Amino acid sequence: MRGRVKMKKIKEKIETISKFPLKESYIWKGKPSIVTSIIAWLLWFCRLFSLLQICKFVFRVIKKKIYVLKDKTTKVDVPSYFTELYFIIELIVACILKMTNQNNTFITIISIYFFIESFIWVIYYTIARRFYEPGYTIYSPLEYFIMLIIVVPCMAFNISIFKSNEQFSSALKSLLGDGSNYLWLFIIGTLMTSIIIGTVVSNFPVEFVKSNTYISIIGAGDNTKDRLLPNVIKDEDINDYRIYDLDNRFCMKKCFVGDTFTIDNQLLEDKSEIFFVEVPPQYHLHYLELLLSSKTSLIALEKPACIDHYDLRRFYEIMDSDYANNIFLISYYLLEKMLPLTYLFTRREYYLKYLTGDIEKAKQLHSSAGNIKSIEISIIEKEDNRSWASDLQWYETMIHPLIIASNILDCTPDRWQILKFESDNTSWIINAKYNDTDINLLVVKSNDSEVKRIAKIAYDNLNIVMNVDLKKLSIGQASISISYKYKDKYSIIYDMVKHCYQDKINPSLIDGRKYQLEIIDWINQMNKKRL
């Protein structure tokens, strides 16, 4: 166990310098591509020894020392000017060396090194990054075009240094596709020309053709009727939709009613692009496997993903397979009600479209907050009248603060020291400790209590307060809220799922799957101890 933990820490340190390629970038339909694997891991290896990446690592370490950060989930952003200054300094030094005709074996080796580093930087950030960090950047895409203006001359100067008979102008022309007497330089120049043209074109505004998307909803309960369906109906992008009502509880437009057998047969014939599974969790696996057996559609699955121990084992297998790319695991609090808090800890740029407020100021304050001293999450709600939910509040509601706390601490409850664990029919209390952080989670389901949902995170230097009912986060003098456009219930969840399909985004990059299965496993174990 200790060896596994130590190895995980080593991998985390390595990834801080050079991020491992994602498996899906070189494993297709369960089978690896040999050539792609070699290229992906070769790029990783080259970046591991990049002076720029090492400097970024040192920058993050220094920042963490300044801010005395122990919270591993707080990522220190490296500003754009850092990379710009690095290559500007390299450009100046290379220019001086060329002008003064300084050349010896050491300088030759250094110039070759910096040429390779520059070339790898171009390949990584203009082509390959999506295979390592897809859909994520803290900069404007235009930044990489601007950087090409600095990096390409750097490459040209370094070529002219280690090939002393080559002039800077001719080296630059070769990199811009003007041909060369050297085959390797001709190939690189052709590639660089393609990259420059592609980068310029990609930064022009793009006009999208309106898509026609078909949606099916399995289950016609309250969540479908009150949250999901209103978003579907008002969405002009949706060409058609269908609802499968297993209980014949509601009479809705475009609703198919039938028993399990006939509905299953209908689903096998259903050609919808997106399926929302809105049935009780004990039926999730059945419909998931049914849809996966015949579909390449996107399947959005309500939390909890499952509750049964045997179902959980099967879920682990599915989420470790290629099928995982077709599954969106919903977490309502993580992705909607508490999205400002989720963004602050994940820094996923994709979430920004749903947020408004003092975002940059909030990020700066968070970076200097210090150590996390305590986490308090309280969810006080009215009783859940759904028959299936009354006995599953552990999974239905308690899972929310557990997911939020796990994301903040970057670890699941199995690593916490549980100090207090109490539950009855209406309330659930967990008091725990993780390293130096106190964790206090409370869920109450009672018609006698006033509805109140709030999260407080205390740091050395300031506090974060997340008012869940207002969907507003406060940190010092800054605040982040949900944009008014997405004020309606489920509008963010619905939009995320739809655009995952339409924009071909891997759901794992934005959904609530992280830690969800592990937390369900932990809840199962705790339930066994209670019995």
- Contact between 240 and 270 (Cβ < 8 Å): no
> Which is more confidently placed, 104 or 479?
479
The percent of residues above 70 in pLDDT, for the chain, comes to 84
Query: What's the pLDDT band for 253 if we cut at 50, 70, 90?
Result: low
Residue 211 has pLDDT above 60, yes or no: no
Pairing mode, strands 427-434 and 437-445: antiparallel
Residue 25 has a pLDDT of: 74
Provide the edge-to-edge strand list for the sheet that holds 437-445: 355-357, 478-482, 472-475, 463-467, 452-459, 372-381, 437-445, 427-434, 417-423
**CA neighbours closer than 13 Å in the CB half-sphere of residue 275:** 27
- Map out the domains of the chain with their CATH numbers: 16-202 (no CATH), 213-332 (3.40.50.720), 338-486+511-530 (3.30.360.10)
pLDDT of res. 318:
92
Q: Measuring CA to CA, which residue among 137, 140, 151 is closest to residue 85? A: 151
Nearest to 150 by CA among 195, 107, 92: 92
Q: What's the pLDDT at 37?
A: 87
Q: Can you name the residues that pair with 475 across neighbouring β-strands?
A: 464, 478
Residue 74 is predicted with a pLDDT of 47
- Do the beta carbons of residue 121 and residue 43 sit within 8 Å? no
Note the pLDDT tens digit of each residue in 437-495.
999 999 988 777 787 899 999 999 999 999 999 999 999 999 999 999 998 999 999 99
> Is the pLDDT higher at 486 or at 251?
486
- Band of residue 402 on the pLDDT scale cut at 50, 70, 90: very high
- Between 159-163, 361-365, 434-438, the lowest mean confidence (pLDDT) is in 159-163
pLDDT of res. 68: 39
Confidence of residue 257 (pLDDT cuts 50, 70, 90): low
Determine if the peptide bond prior to 32 is cis (ω within 30°): no
- In tens, the pLDDT along 369-398 reads 889 999 999 998 877 665 555 556 667 788
In whole angstroms, what is the distance from residue 159 CA to residue 101 CA? 13
**Residue-level pLDDT at 116:** 93
What is the predicted pLDDT for the residue at 372? 93
Amino acid of residue 251: C
d(CA 514, CA 521): 13
For 282-423, list the strands marked E by DSSP.
298-301, 327-329, 355-357, 372-381, 417-423
Lowest average pLDDT, out of 100-104, 227-231, 263-267, goes to 100-104
Calculate the CA dihedral of residues 468, 469, 473, 478 and round it to 10 degrees.
-170
Name the β-bridge partners of 294. Answer: none
The 10s digit of each residue's pLDDT in 273-330 is 999 999 888 899 999 999 988 777 899 999 889 888 889 999 999 998 888 889 999 9
SS3 labels along 457-512:
EEECCCEEEEECCCCEEEECCEEEEECHHHCCCCHHHHHHHHHHHHCCCCHHHCCC
The one-letter code for the residue type at 171 is A
Q: Provide the phi-psi class of 101: left if phi over 0, else alpha when psi is between -120 and 50, else beta.
A: left
Quick one: average pLDDT of 58-64?
A: 78
Cα of 337 vs its chain's centroid, Å:
17
SS (H, E, C) 419-458: EEEEECCCEEEEEEEECCEEEEEEEEECCCCCCEEEEEEE
Weakest-pLDDT range from 99-113, 135-149, 158-172: 135-149
- Residues 6+ positions from 153 with CB-CB distance below 8 Å: 91, 172
